[in-house]
Amino acid sequence: MPRRGLERLDLLLLAIEALDLHGSEAMVWCCDQLGLSEQFPDRVSLWRSRCRNPLRVASRRGQLGTDEAQALITLVCTLAQRVYPLLRQLVSSREPAELTAQRWTLFRERFSDLVRERFNVRRGAVRQLLDDSEGEGLRRAIVESLLLSAGPGGAARLEASLRDAQR
Q: How many CB atoms neighbour CB 156 within 10 A?
A: 12
What is the reported pLDDT for 149? Answer: 95
Is the per-residue pLDDT at 63 higher than 80?
no
Domain count, the chain: 1
Is the per-residue pLDDT at 3 higher than 70?
no
Query: What's the mean per-residue pLDDT of the chain?
Result: 89
Listed residue (31, 14, 38) closest to 110, CA to CA: 14
Residue 104 pLDDT class (50, 70, 90 cuts) = very high
What is the reported pLDDT for 49? Answer: 87
Q: What is the mean pLDDT of residues 4-33?
A: 90
| Per-residue H/E/C for 13-34 | HHHHHHHCCCHHHHHHHHHHHC
Listed residue (117, 47, 78, 1) closest to 129, CA to CA: 117
Query: Which residues have a Cβ under 8 Å from the Cβ of 147 and sit 6 or more positions away?
Result: 80, 84, 87, 88, 91
Give the amino acid at 132: D
Distance CA 156, CA 44 (A): 27
pLDDT digits 0-9 by tens, 113-152 = 999 999 999 999 999 999 988 899 999 999 999 999 998 9
Q: What is the mean pLDDT of residues 94-116?
A: 94
| Residue 31 Cα distances to 20, 43, 106, 110, 148, angstroms | 16, 9, 27, 24, 21
Q: Which domain holds residue 26?
A: 3-166
What is the reported pLDDT for 167? Answer: 46
* pLDDT > 90: percent of the chain: 59
What is the reported pLDDT for 12? Answer: 96
pTM: 0.90
